[in-house]
Amino acid sequence: GQNIDQPTEMTATEGAIVQINCTYQTSGFNGLFWYQQHAGEAPTFLSYNVLDGLEEKGRFSSFLSRSKGYSYLLLKELQMKDSASYLCAVRPRAAGGFKTIFGAGTRLFVKA
Amino acid sequence: DVKVTQSSRYLVKRTGEKVFLECVQDMDHENMFWYRQDPGLGLRLIYFSYDVKMKEKGDIPEGYSVSREKKERFSLILESASTNQTSMYLCASSPRIYPPGEQYFGPGTRLTVT
């Protein structure tokens, strides 16, 4: 089967660093995405990894290890506005290559 | 600014009614998707379309159908709404490129079936 696991909830303090982990088991691999979703809003794209290693984009970084089926999203200098759900999503190597499997999301609470 | 719009933010329907959810994108994207989002389950793919008049079943197509008559518009149809279809419905689109790019999501329609 195909499965994506990520923690349900995390809490962190404003100004701190938080790491949100994601493990996946899919039939093939064609890229991993992280999306941010504020309550009541649409998910928005944060990052994309297809090769092993770290991708940095401002305060957000995403890491991928294909051999371990593992990724993490690192948020630095946390701000209150970072309180949101973070969705890990994997695109398996399937016919057409369009399908994406989403994890249930990690709800991050940033406290003052 | 890229845009995906959905016809309604909130919708209340009765059991057995036929329900139409409309999605329009202005980015000339080939691919369009319909998901439902439920607490603890994440986004689950209902149907997707990679071209006009083309459609593919996702992971949970039962009870749903779709229509794509024009490139910019993708409609989700609940033939006979049931209470277990109460959910948040999200439409998304993406360009047909390689490597595959991110999906752009609409604001969602929260459907309640009573």
Output the pLDDT for position A46. Answer: 95
Q: Alpha-carbon distance B104 to B2, whole Å?
A: 8
Q: Coil, strand, or helix at residue B79?
A: coil
Residue B53 structure tokens: 């008049």
DSSP, res B18:
-
How far, in whole angstroms, is CA A70 from its chain's centroid?
10
Inter-chain contact B48–A98, Cβ cutoff 8 Å? yes
Give the chain A residue nearest B102 (alpha carbons). Answer: A45
- What local confidence, expressed as pLDDT, does residue A99 receive? 79
Measure CA A31 to chain center.
Answer: 12
- Residue B35 is predicted with a pLDDT of 97
pLDDT at residue number B80: 97
Contacts of B33 in chain A (CB under 8 A): 98
A97, amino acid identity: G
d(CA B19, CA B79): 7
CB contact under 8 A, B98 and A97: yes
Q: Which residues of chain B have pLDDT under 70?
A: 1-2, 98-100
A46, A73 contact by CB (below 8 A): yes
Greater model confidence, A86 or A30: A86
Percent of chain A residues topping a pLDDT of 70? 96
Q: Strand (E) positions, B52-106?
A: 54-57, 64-70, 73-78, 87-94, 104-105
Residue among A26, A2, A29, A8 nearest A104 (CA): A8
* Interatomic CA distance for residues B102 and B79, integer angstroms: 30
User: Which candidate, B32, B6, B2, places its Cα nearest to that of B111?
Assistant: B6
Task: Report the C-alpha gap between B19 and B13 in whole angstroms.
Answer: 8
Angle (CA) B36 A82 A6, round 5°: 50
For residue A102, give the nearest of B42, B94, B107 by CB distance: B42
What pLDDT is attached to residue B96? Answer: 77
Query: CB A102 to CB B44 under 8 A?
Result: yes
The DSSP string of A20-51 is EEEEEE-SS-S-EEEEEE-TTS--EEEEEE-S
Tens of pLDDT, residues B72-105: 999 999 999 999 999 999 999 998 776 667 899 9
C-alpha distances in Å from residue A15, one per residue of A63, B19, B64: 21, 46, 45
A57, A64, A98, A101: best to mutate for the B interface, most B CBs within 10 A: A98
* From B33, B58, B107, residue closest to A42, measured CB to CB: B107
CA atoms within 13 A on the CB side of B107: 8
